[in-house]
Structure 1
Amino acid sequence: MQRERIDSGELIRCLKLELHPEGGYFRETYRASGNVVRENGAELRSASTAIYFLLCDGAHSAWHRIRSDEVWHFYAGDPIDVHVLDAQGALVTHRLGNALVHPDAAFQAVVKAGNWFAAECRDASGAALVGCTVAPGFEFSEFELAAPGALEARYPQHRETIARLGPKT
């Protein structure tokens, strides 16, 4: 597998990234000024938001879900796997990376609203800079980190992958 080395320390400084509660580093880069109202609700939400997200130093994005669709975009570095537990309990893995260098990778992947998902560098020693666009826009009030053991109990057929990508305790 060809490596596309990036300097994660330089990216953290240059892009002013901060630690994310799910793992990795992030910074919000866009929040739409227009608002939308969620179906079946009265909450106003920004129409869309976007972030930079960096996985490095063996960190992973722990299992979580949000109430909006999220589009992941690959920018630089090594491929990552975005693991998604769909509504039927199937585990789907999207390989995100430079599709010109890694034919099994795509530049974008979509996680549907409400699905549990986690991400990791394909190579644990790798680093990857990606972006995430959320619509309606992301709010931490709609972010849910999986409780330890809850997903393993619900989806025992995927126990190994779920346990490996759980929250750091």
Structure 2
Amino acid sequence: MQAPRIDKDELIRRFNLQPHPEGGFFRETYRAQSRVTRENDGGGETRSASTAIYFLLCDGAHSAWHRIRSDELWHFYAGDPIDIHVIDANGRLNTTRLGNALTHPGAVFQAVVPAGDWFAAECSSAAGAALVGCTVAPGFEFSEFELAASGALEAAHPEHRALIARLGPAAR
């Protein structure tokens, strides 16, 4: 079933979305006032317990390969499905289709990317547009955001070389 078209320019304006370093557009919508410390964080630094953003993919843009130190929960809001590609610590590739689970076959409304795993996302069709949300706990900090160097990621996972190259930062 064809998703209803969304007006990307209207969404960018209405939600005051800004370009994101990994691709697409975003705006932080929530940062918890509660602070937490990760048990495995040697520095004992506190961070927000949780953060949330709106995230828009459109015009053939993709979310380039990156990883963060917290779990990230993706939520589907509107538009076309997106494919979230995750390479886990054992090098296994898993792709989850995020979309309207009632109308997009094989799609789910929510998907989790585990902390530390490399991941990238793209609209299921090159001409697609999707508005999603991402919730991170403990909260997202740009200091913990790592954009992949495609050559290094390809060398570490040669079995996924074509997908890594296609969705790398240089592919934009």
Q: What TM-score range do you get, normalising by the shorter chain?
A: over 0.9
Gaps of 5+ in 2: none
Gaps of 5+ in 1: none
Q: CA deviation at 1:90?
A: 0.5
Provide the residue aligned with 1:30 in structure 2.
30
TM-score (norm 2): 0.96
Provide the residue aligned with 2:153 in structure 1.
151
CA-to-aligned-CA distance 1:118-167 (integer Å, 9 cap, x gap): 00000010000000000000000000000131111000000011100000
The question of 1:4 aligning with 2:16 is answered: no
Q: CA deviation at 1:3?
A: 2.8
CA RMSD of aligned residues (A): 0.9
Q: CA deviation at 1:38?
A: 1.2
- SS of residue in 1 equivalent to 2:153: helix
Of 89, 98, 101 in structure 2, the residue corresponding to residue 99 of structure 1 is 101
Provide the residue aligned with 1:39 in structure 2.
39
The question of 1:68 aligning with 2:70 is answered: yes
Runs of 4+ in 1 over 6 A off after TM superposition: none
- SS of residue in 1 equivalent to 2:121: strand
Does the 8 Å contact 2:80/2:124 carry over to 1?
yes
Q: How many residues align?
A: 169
Provide the residue aligned with 1:90 in structure 2.
92
Q: CA deviation at 1:2?
A: 1.3
Q: Distance in 1 between matches of 2:121 and 2:151?
A: 18
Deviates more, 1:147-156 or 1:44-53: 147-156
Provide the residue aligned with 1:141 in structure 2.
143
Q: Distance in 2 between matches of 1:131 and 1:89?
A: 26
- SS of residue in 2 equivalent to 1:149: helix
Does the 8 Å contact 2:150/2:164 carry over to 1?
no
**Identity rate of aligned residues, in percent?**
76
- SS of residue in 1 equivalent to 2:134: strand
Deviates more, 1:62-71 or 1:144-153: 144-153
The question of 1:123 aligning with 2:125 is answered: yes
Provide the residue aligned with 2:60 in structure 1.
58
Q: Distance in 2 between matches of 1:29 and 1:95?
A: 24
Provide the residue aligned with 1:77 in structure 2.
79
- SS of residue in 2 equivalent to 1:152: helix
